[in-house]
Amino acid sequence: MPSREPAAEDAASEGRTAEGMAGQEQIIRVPAQLAQLLIGLRRQQGLSQAALAQRAGGISQARLSALELNPGRFTLERLLLILAALDLELVVRPRRRRPEPAEW
């Protein structure tokens, strides 16, 4: 069985998706999760890439598309502009530790 990123597994096991997160916090630990979340929220709000790009301070649709495809290239400034355009905010908190599995 292929291994999955821990946060992706957490989200899947808790039934969270970008489309169904209204009012919920999302844990992002890898860039691909950020891209999936932002794409889902953009679509949920009925925004095209061009409309979101314009709302986010006039970046081009091509640049937004490139960021969705390669989210590791986000600058903090661009990320904050896009989050604000989607009516979101960034929250930083200590990482929750998972309990060690009990040995049998």
**What's the CATH code of the domain at 53?**
1.10.260.40
Domain-located, residue 97: no
Question: How does residue 23 score in pLDDT terms, banded at 50, 70 and 90?
Answer: low
Amino acid at 28: I
Structural domains in the chain (count): 1
pTM for the model stands at: 0.69
Please tell me the predicted confidence (pLDDT) of residue 89: 93
Residues 95-101: contacts with CB within 8 Å, 24+ apart? 98/6
Domain-located, residue 65: yes
Q: What is the DSSP string of 18-76?
A: GGG-TT------SHHHHHHHHHHHHHHTT--HHHHHHHTTS--HHHHHHHHH-GGG--H
Q: What is the pLDDT of residues 28-86, one digit of tens each?
A: 989 999 999 999 999 999 999 999 999 999 799 999 999 999 998 889 999 999 999 99
Domain-located, residue 43: yes
pLDDT of 18 higher than 90: no
Residue 66: give the domain boundaries.
6-18+28-85
Domain-located, residue 103: no
Question: How does residue 14 score in pLDDT terms, banded at 50, 70 and 90?
Answer: very low
15 versus 37: the higher-pLDDT residue is 37
Which of the residue ranges 3-7, 94-98, 100-104 would you say has the lowest mean pLDDT? Answer: 3-7
Domain-located, residue 92: no
